[in-house]
Structure 1
Amino acid sequence: MLLLLIPGIIWSIKYGFVFFLIPDKGVGVKEAFDLSAEMTEGIKWKLFWFDIFGFLVLVAGLLLLGVGLFLAIPVIYLAAYMIYNKLLARTKLGIAG
């Protein structure tokens, strides 16, 4: 079970933008996975540290008796969407889309 943890983290980073690509660009599932892999190529460590920071922000929100989650969750999603837009500009859909 523990051996699946590292590959699971890598895959979640590699394919983390699939749920943004499908509604935003109207691509199919396979193409969304391919584009997400292309978008995250070479910056997986930066995205990993962003995910760690987001997790710590969520924990801080929970420590504030859950009230902090009302601010933490939208801020994390907004930051992820901003990263998505920056990375999308580097791909073929960023120009054509």
Structure 2
Amino acid sequence: MNDLKETKTILLSSWKLFKTRATILVAFFFIYLIISAFASIILYALPENLPLKSGLQIFVLLLLYSVFSICHIRNMNYTIKQQPFSMPHLNDEKRTLMNHFFATILYSAIVSIGILFFIIPGIYWAIRLQFYSYAIIEKGLGAIESIRYSWHLTRNASTELLILTAYALLVLCVGLILFILGIFIAIPYILMIQCYTHKILSKG
């Protein structure tokens, strides 16, 4: 990915793909938010003196995020390949789930450290390492290997990825302005942009 024309193509192609499965992708994201919200409420209601309460909250929410990522990325790939929607059997995804869980912790730690150093390094690392999920879910890599994979994959595409990230933030802002309900379209579309971008980069 080395020019702005291709960036525009990614945005338009992602939108066309998103529209073909919009109902399913939006519904799946909505269900994830509802489950996460209920889990947060239940965890918040736990006694304050409960040992490791904060750790339990983080564990449950990260686990839910990993389950969502596995299911959503697989179905975005089905969308790109024009294959039928299918829910993965999580019993067969135990290793993937574990790797994604720990990789998310590692990714969050790296980005957080970067943000502490004048914010810009954190943004840069977040953009460069964003494809770790795809390395785990599609390539079967481990947590550390997935971070290395994303860093290597994005080495010549920083500018284009920054433009795509800026566009994604704009889409998110528009979604928030539209009575917040717009985020249920904005975020699944942004995730489709990310998925399609990964396809372009991994082919290159």
* TMscore range, shorter length: 0.7 to 0.9
* 1:42 alignment partner, SS class: coil
- Structure 1: gaps of 5 or more residues: 91-97
Q: What is the aligned partner in structure 1 of residue 201 from structure 2?
A: 87
Q: What is the aligned partner in structure 2 of residue 74 from structure 1?
A: 188
State the TM-score, normalizing by the size of structure 1: 0.85
Q: What is the aligned partner in structure 2 of residue 19 from structure 1?
A: 133
**What do the CA deviations read for 1:26-61 (whole angstroms, capped 9, x no partner)?**
101121111111110111111011111101110100
Deviation at 1:21, TM superposition (A): 1.3
RMSD: 1.4
Identity of aligned residues (%): 32
Paired with 1:64 and 1:27, the residues of 2 have a C-alpha distance of: 39
Paired with 1:58 and 1:25, the residues of 2 have a C-alpha distance of: 29
Paired with 1:33 and 1:3, the residues of 2 have a C-alpha distance of: 20
Paired with 2:156 and 2:203, the residues of 1 have a C-alpha distance of: 15
Matches within 5 A, 1:47-62: 47-62=161-176
Q: What is the aligned partner in structure 1 of residue 123 from structure 2?
A: 9
State the TM-score, normalizing by the size of structure 2: 0.42
Q: Which of 120, 139, 142 is residue 28 of structure 1 equivalent to?
A: 142
Amino acid across the alignment from 2:184: F
* Structure whose alpha-carbon radius of gyration is higher: 2
Paired with 2:147 and 2:171, the residues of 1 have a C-alpha distance of: 27
* Contact 2:128 2:150 (C-alpha < 8 Å) held by counterparts: yes
Paired with 2:197 and 2:172, the residues of 1 have a C-alpha distance of: 18
Q: How many residues matched? A: 90
* 2:148 alignment partner, SS class: helix
Paired with 1:28 and 1:34, the residues of 2 have a C-alpha distance of: 10
Deviation at 1:3, TM superposition (A): 3.9
Q: 4+ residue runs of structure 1 moved beyond 4 angstroms?
A: none
